[in-house]
């Protein structure tokens, strides 16, 4: 069972716009629609918020072939005239599921010539990193970035300053260490290399961007964790080191992204201009004090069970696609579970021998016994509705398990995390320019309109 959450411990420093001597290349190819990705349904883990390392499951060969035609176009694209436009939108097909894989990933083409890497999409952390060779300690994987010291980012580069302001000497390589709340860590050096992006007009852009070349990864020893392989993390936080922020500061896209995670497996991701015709419900992103790590934090939220019974009032939540499950602090979790348990009464039997998640009930056709949970954002009068499908999974033992967990048992303290299980079947858009998050129900298994 995989319970990963990505809440990383990181140093936050301001980052100025930087220039580069590397050429930007745009290539054209036939515009292809995203393919419908279907995987098995189920449950998986959450990650700890402090810039956490995502060591998610890598998919089977059959899943890795999804969207092969588009990937071949990226890998074989030919140079064309460089161009910039804040109106660009970059598209990715998503693979993965909540259970049994425990994460959602995208294939990212890095290097020249480009090579594809499966990266865990993570709105809960900033820095993108890829396992590299030579490697001191890596999670076994078939995908490793070939580290080249010529690509090193020096300590005096603004991107390095944003991550490690104590880096010395000024012209030396920028070393980083990311430590996560579940005792995971990733260490290496920052490098700058070409990363390929598919545009909505069918072209491909190859800007040089900074990311981590990870040479030393330490997996979690937490008893809830059983991480399998992935090549690394695709950080989508709003910190200065994220790929999203870099692309925006270089003038290629708006500082906006959105994801649509399908409960059937797969989905879609876009970076840049939100051209969806969907009517979204919005709430504000809260600004964090300088001493607090930036996350997509929103509130205050009133938590309602069955749309009317108030569990708690005035809490804050973090939207984190790097967390498989939803985590609530001890007080909020207890209040919600007590209402749920009282409503169920003696209708269901606990499956105490099923350890997929902390709480499971016997039987797999039980969703009809459970009620909607509503997150009411009182200042904006916005409601984020969790149907039973947004917080329950069916285990491999054919039992129904609760995908809302007590974060205090995972060492998450007082925070509340809205993870993948509750983000499923919704288009969720993160607008860092207007500092707001929007959502709408969506068939995430289908290509965008």
- pLDDT tens track for 62-117: 333 445 555 665 665 544 444 666 778 899 999 999 999 999 999 999 999 999 99
Q: Stretch 284-311: mean pLDDT, rounded?
A: 84
Output the pLDDT for position 203.
Answer: 79
Q: Number of H helices and number of E strands within the chain?
A: 6, 28
For residue range 338-384, list pLDDT tens digits in order.
Answer: 999 999 999 999 999 999 999 999 999 999 999 999 999 999 999 99
The per-residue pLDDT for 178 is 82
Q: In this structure, is the dihedral angle defined by the CA atoms of residues 307, 324, 175 and 183, taken in order, positive or negative?
A: positive
Q: Give residue 30's pLDDT.
A: 27
Give me the percent of the chain exceeding a pLDDT of 70.
76
Q: CA angle, corner 164, sides to 160 and 170, nearest 5?
A: 60
Q: Which residues are catalytic?
A: 122, 320
- The Cα 358–Cα 348 span in angstroms is 16
What pLDDT, on the 0 to 100 scale, is given for residue 16? Answer: 28
pLDDT of residue 411: 85
Mean pLDDT confidence for 218-246: 77
Average pLDDT over residues 219-230: 55
Average pLDDT in the 23-36 region? Answer: 32
Cα gap 243→255, rounded to integer Å: 10
Contact 231, 55 (CB under 8 A): no
C-alpha–C-alpha distance, residues 418 and 326, integer Å = 5
Would you place residue 7 in the very low, low, confident or very high pLDDT band (cuts 50, 70, 90)?
Answer: low
The whole-number pLDDT of residue 43 equals 33
Averaged pLDDT, 182-195: 88
The answer to whether the predicted template modeling score (pTM) of the entire model surpasses 0.85 is no
pLDDT at 293 > cutoff 70: no
What is the phi-psi region of residue 224: left when phi exceeds 0, alpha when psi lies from -120 to 50, beta otherwise? Answer: alpha
DSSP state string for 110-144: ETTTTEEEEEEEETT----EEEEES-SB----S--
Q: What 3-state class would DSSP assign to 92?
A: strand
Distance between CA 295 and CA 317 in Å, rounded? Answer: 10
Pairing of strands 417-418, 309-319: parallel
Residues 360, 236: Cα–Cα separation, whole Å: 32
Rg value, the chain, Cα? 21
Q: What secondary structure does DSSP assign to 347-367, as a single string?
A: SS-B-TT--SSS-EES-S--G
Look at 60-64, 248-252, 289-293, 335-339 and tell me which has the smallest mean pLDDT: 60-64
């Amino acid at each position: 069972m995989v319970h990963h959450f990505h809440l990383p411990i990181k140093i936050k420093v301001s980052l100025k716009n930087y220039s580069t001597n590397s050429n930007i290349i745009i290539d054209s190819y036939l515009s292809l629609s995203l393919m419908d990705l279907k995987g098995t349904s189920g449950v998986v883990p959450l990650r700890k918020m402090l810039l956490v390392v995502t060591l998610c499951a890598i998919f089977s060969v059959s899943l890795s072939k999804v969207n092969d035609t588009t990937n071949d176009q990226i890998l074989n694209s030919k140079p064309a005239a460089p161009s910039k436009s804040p109106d660009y939108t970059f598209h990715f097909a998503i693979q993965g599921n909540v259970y049994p894989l425990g994460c959602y990933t995208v294939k990212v083409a890095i290097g020249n010539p480009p090579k594809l890497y499966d990266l865990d999409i993570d709105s809960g952390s900033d820095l993108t990193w890829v396992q590299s060779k030579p490697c001191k300690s890596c999670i076994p994987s078939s995908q490793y970035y070939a580290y080249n010291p010529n690509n090193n980012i020096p300590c005096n580069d603004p991107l390095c300053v944003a991550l490690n302001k104590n880096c010395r000497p000024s012209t030396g390589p920028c070393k980083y260490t990311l430590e996560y709340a579940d005792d995971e860590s990733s260490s290496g050096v920052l490098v700058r290399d070409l990363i390929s992006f598919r545009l909505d007009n069918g072209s491909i852009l190859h800007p040089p961007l900074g990311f981590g070349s990870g040479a030393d990864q330490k997996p979690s020893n937490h008893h809830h964790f059983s991480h399998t392989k992935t090549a690394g993390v695709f950080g989508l936080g709003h910190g200065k080191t994220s790929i999203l922020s870099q692309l925006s500061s270089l003038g290629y896209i708006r500082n906006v992204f959105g994801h649509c995670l399908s409960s059937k497996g797969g989905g879609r991701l876009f970076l840049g201009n939100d051209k969806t015709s969907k009517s979204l419900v919005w709430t504000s992103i809260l600004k964090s004090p300088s001493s607090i790590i930036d996350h997509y934090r929103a509130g205050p939220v009133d938590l309602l069970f069955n749309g009317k019974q108030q569990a708690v009032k005035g809490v804050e939540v973090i939207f984190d696609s790097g967390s498989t499950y939803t985590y609530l602090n001890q007080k909020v979790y207890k209040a919600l579970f007590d209402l749920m348990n009282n409503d169920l009464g003696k209708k269901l039997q606990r499956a105490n021998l099923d350890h997929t998640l902390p709480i499971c009930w016997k039987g797999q056709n039980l969703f009809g016994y459970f009620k909607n949970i509503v997150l009411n954002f009182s200042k904006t009068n916005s409601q984020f509705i969790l149907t039973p499908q947004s917080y329950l999974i069916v285990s491999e033992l054919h039992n129904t398990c609760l995908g809302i967990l007590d974060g205090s048992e995972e060492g998450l303290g007082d925070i509340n995390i809205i993870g993948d299980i509750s983000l499923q079947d919704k288009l969720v858009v993160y607008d860092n320019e207007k500092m707001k998050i929007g959502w709408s129900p969506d068939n995430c298994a289908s290509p965008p309109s």
